[in-house]
Amino acid sequence: MEPINVVVTGAAGQIAYSLLYHISSGSIFGPQQPINLRLLDIPPMMKVLDGVIMELEDLALPLLREITPTTDPSIAFNDVAAAFLVGSMPRKEGMERKDLLAANVAIFKVQGEAIDKFAQKEVKVLVVGNPANTNALICSHYAPSIPKENFSAMTRLDQNRAQSALAKKLGVKVNDVKNVIIWGNHSSTQYPDGRHATVTIKNSFKSVPDVLNDNDWLDNTFVEMIQKRGAAVIAARKMSSAMSAAKAAADHMRDWWLGTKPGHWVSMGVMSDGSYGIAKDIVFSFPVSIENKQYKIVQGLAINEFAQSKLDVTAQELEEERKEAQSILKD
């Protein structure tokens, strides 16, 4: 089997440090698929990247064929089949959202143009770097020859957090809970939705709300816990989520590449097509099923008044981000 080219940006950073093993070991693209790694970072990080490459070599992984470290997007994105855009400008204390978006427009403009010019046209692009949803929108804007559905933003970390929290509350294994949904933005406005989730108990599927029998916990405690989980990790660890973010990026791309199981759906930030009344042309997290590397938004789920209010808030934030990003693009 011929190797595929996979690029990781921010390759010397914390998330990439955990992610690179997942990519190179066969857990994402399949146990038979050889990988050529392209590692993109900024010049001050190249010495650190040398150490990361030494460790990759020392893993002695049979699927890892070539490793190319570079600061040049034209080399990094040349003929890539999959891209993990991890590097971004993090929000710093006192930074306004428009300043954050302006810094990221500069990054994702360069990367979008490189994807447009050098990557395979069917490339799958996963944006991990925050603000992920709007960064994905910006990147897609600068890669007009790549289908918009080939860009996605990561909300899988939020889904994994929500699935784990429900399993803990229910006293079951985490893989006994399925079809938790993250709606909207990867931010504190997201809506973690357990109302459509199911849990396997004694070999039978049951509705999570029915088993919990605690709407107050599901609509308030649970929602707030997941919305604030990233901040809680930073408060405890003094650094943002890295190991769990890398695992989520691996989960996201694996399901996009290999497909979801029948009856299962996952959350991905994708270009809205107007489903569930969400404005088109924002990158919004929906539940999706995936087959042959193509996702479909799950349709027909009942949205009650409480859920609709949550969707409206997170959609409004994304529309505001889009307007601010567009104003920067025109500057």
Task: Enumerate the active-site residues.
Answer: 186
Can you tell me the distance from the alpha carbon of 89 to that of 96, in angstroms, rounded to the nearest whole number? 13
3-state secondary structure at position 39? strand
What is the three-state SS of 267-319?
Answer: EEEEECCCHHHCCCCCEEEEEEEEECCEEEECCCCCCCHHHHHHHHHHHHHHH
For residue 265, what are its two tokens?
Answer: 């759906």
Residues contacting residue 282 through CB under 8 Å, at least 6 positions apart: 133, 137, 271, 272, 315, 318, 319, 321, 322
How far is Cα of residue 53 from the mean position of the Cα atoms in its chain? 24
Helix and strand counts by DSSP (H, E) for the chain: 12, 14
Q: Which amino acid is at 135?
A: N
What is the three-state SS of 173-213?
Answer: CHHHEECCEEEECCCCCCEEECCCCEEEECCEEEEHHHHHC
For residue 295, the cross-strand partners are: 290
C-alpha distances (whole Å) from 206 to each of 79, 100, 199, 287, 320 are: 46, 43, 5, 19, 38
160 burial (CB, 10 Å; 0-12 / 13-18 / 19+) is buried
C-alpha distances (whole Å) from 174 to each of 35, 78, 260 are: 30, 39, 17
Can you tell me the distance from the alpha carbon of 244 to that of 186, in angstroms, rounded to the nearest whole number? 15
